[in-house]
Amino acid sequence: QQQVKQSPQSLIVQKGGISIINCAYENTAFDYFPWYQQFPGKGPALLIAIRPDVSEKKEGRFTISFNKSAKQFSLHIMDSQPGDSATYFCAASIIGNQFYFGTGTSLTVIP
């Protein structure tokens, strides 16, 4: 049973466009929602994270939108660049640091 559902599986965006990746969860006990970026052959790196007491967090071109009532959160990448081409994972965590990961989205930004 997938605790965190992520979509789309793959995404192609033009340079300068907006990339949007969505995740949904069921367990209301989750208290931390990070997004990770992973390049081929490398470990995931934390990109941005949010806690459920806020609805939006922005860091540079990356924004998390969080909808507690809908149990959904999304990653928006503004002005997408070819260097953003990577796999993105959402995750959700419970106190005690049990992380549950989405299945990943492969983003390709074309020049």
Partner 1 sequence: DGGITQSPKYLFRKEGQNVTLSCEQNLNHDAMYWYRQDPGQGLRLIYYSQIVNDFQKGDIAEGYSVSREKKESFPLTVTSAQKNPTAFYLCASSILLAGGPSETQYFGPGTRLLVL
What does the binding site for partner 1 look like in residue numbers (CB under 8 A)? 6, 9, 31-32, 34, 36, 41-46, 49, 51, 89, 93-99, 101-104
Residue 15 or 51: the one with the smaller Cβ distance to partner 1 is 51
Q: Residue 93: which H helix or E strand, with range? A: strand 86-94
CB of 110 to partner 1, least distance (A): 22
Residue 34 or 74: the one with the smaller Cβ distance to partner 1 is 34
Q: What are phi and psi of 27, to 5 degrees?
A: -80, 115
CB neighbour list of residue 18: distance below 8 Å, 6 or more residues apart = 76, 77, 78, 79, 80
Residue 47 or 109: the one with the smaller Cβ distance to partner 1 is 47
